[in-house]
Amino acid sequence: MKPMHRLGKVLFACAMPLLFTACTHFGRVPFADHPLLGKVWDVSAQRFVDPATVIDRAVEARFVLIGEIHDNAEQHRIQAQVLDAMVQRGRRPALVMEQYDVEQQSGVNTARQGNSPDAAKLKALSELMRKSWDWPLYEPIVKVAVQNKLPLIASNLSRDSLRHVSRQGFSALGEGEQARLALDTVWTQERQKQLLMELSAGHCGKMAEHMGEAISKAQRARDAVMADMLVKATKSGAVAIVGRNHARLDLGVPIYLAARAPNAPVLSIGLVEVDVPTNPAAYASSQLGQLHDYLWFTSRPLRKVNPCDSIPAKPEAKAEAKSS
């Protein structure tokens, strides 16, 4: 049982909702004068575009994924602006949020019912959001949904569900779910190799090799379930608020959408914190292809805590440290 005990530590080292996103993006330098700040890069066209171009594409897409770094306030403001602009253009999409577990949907629905003021509904929704998510950052976009009476859909797997998937595999999702969610249909050896590499980097190189398969199953299950919630949302389409890697075209939710709704237009917007590179193409692709349709560059907040410090070292690293 020791390996699974360690798995629990690794899975929750990033407070679980941040897995595969915030752990891979941190820094102590905000790059205040970075030349990419505020710019939007069209990955396919290899050129900068006006944000209005992104809105035009979002209005036409059935599914819009806006990938974030969870603690970046600027990125949350952009998400709210995009959703509000779509509403102003006549769209009525569902708002699908990683920040609520699928088991919380009934509570979300109850919070939205009745003739209570919007402020009361927002308060009830804030109380449903777990402490690992920073409600003030998400309030603006939830407020857009509440004020415009848009459906609000919970899309995340709970911590307990993720533990079961990590230990038991996809059978933990229920009979027939592995096939229905296209978990095997979309997956390849190349994707598995890339995912394991990304997870290792996201865990600061401290993830023991034998943990990779279990953690990758949890990650794949989350993406497939998020896609399922998008497909089920409404005929009016949906906007998904997710960690940026969940919005990736090469590994994330979009590959499951392609299998489940092959004719539906999908738009992936990656909100990207500026880093050392000044060439936008450096942020755009992996070995499997492009990451997003658009990269929207934002500031990098000053973070005082390095999340790598909270992740336990893998056994071989501990042994080396002890012998040195």
- The Cα 22–Cα 14 span in angstroms is 8
The pLDDT of residue 47 is above 80: yes
Q: Which pLDDT tens digit goes with each residue over 179-216?
A: 999 999 999 999 999 999 988 888 887 777 778 889 99
Q: What pLDDT, on a 0 to 100 scale, did the predictor assign at position 203?
A: 80
Considering the entire predicted model, what is its pTM? 0.88
* Cβ–Cβ < 8 Å for 62, 311: no
Q: What pLDDT, on a 0 to 100 scale, did the predictor assign at position 204?
A: 83
Find the domain containing 260 and state its range.
Answer: 2-323
Average pLDDT, rounded, for the chain:
88
Q: Which pLDDT tens digit goes with each residue over 213-246?
A: 899 999 999 999 999 999 999 888 999 999 999 9
H/E/C letters for each residue in 177-203?
HHHHCCCCCCCCHHHHHHHHHHHHHHC
CATH number at residue 274: 3.40.50.11550
- The Cα 215–Cα 310 span in angstroms is 17
- The Cα 285–Cα 22 span in angstroms is 19
Q: How many residues does the chain have?
A: 324
Mean pLDDT on 42-64:
98
pLDDT classification of 104: cutoffs 50, 70, 90: very high
The pLDDT of residue 29 is above 80: no
Q: Which residues pair with 63 in a beta bridge?
A: 238, 266
- The Cα 79–Cα 51 span in angstroms is 12
- The Cα 136–Cα 126 span in angstroms is 9
The pLDDT of residue 128 is above 60: yes
Q: What pLDDT, on a 0 to 100 scale, did the predictor assign at position 314?
A: 62
Q: Which pLDDT tens digit goes with each residue over 66-82?
A: 999 999 999 999 999 99
Q: Which pLDDT tens digit goes with each residue over 249-290?
A: 999 999 999 999 999 999 999 999 999 999 999 999 999 999
Q: What pLDDT, on a 0 to 100 scale, did the predictor assign at position 48?
A: 98
- For the chain, list the strands marked E by DSSP: 40-42, 47-49, 63-68, 94-101, 152-156, 238-243, 266-273, 285-286, 289-290, 294-298
Q: What pLDDT, on a 0 to 100 scale, did the predictor assign at position 310?
A: 67
Q: What pLDDT, on a 0 to 100 scale, did the predictor assign at position 174?
A: 96
Mean pLDDT on 147-174:
96
Number of domains in the chain: 1
Q: What pLDDT, on a 0 to 100 scale, did the predictor assign at position 210?
A: 74
Distance of CA 182 to the CA centre of its chain: 19
* Cβ–Cβ < 8 Å for 219, 157: no
- The Cα 214–Cα 169 span in angstroms is 8
pLDDT classification of 40: cutoffs 50, 70, 90: very high
* Cβ–Cβ < 8 Å for 200, 212: yes
Q: Which pLDDT tens digit goes with each residue over 17-28?
A: 334 343 444 444
DSSP H helical ranges for 129-250: 135-147, 159-168, 177-180, 189-202, 212-232
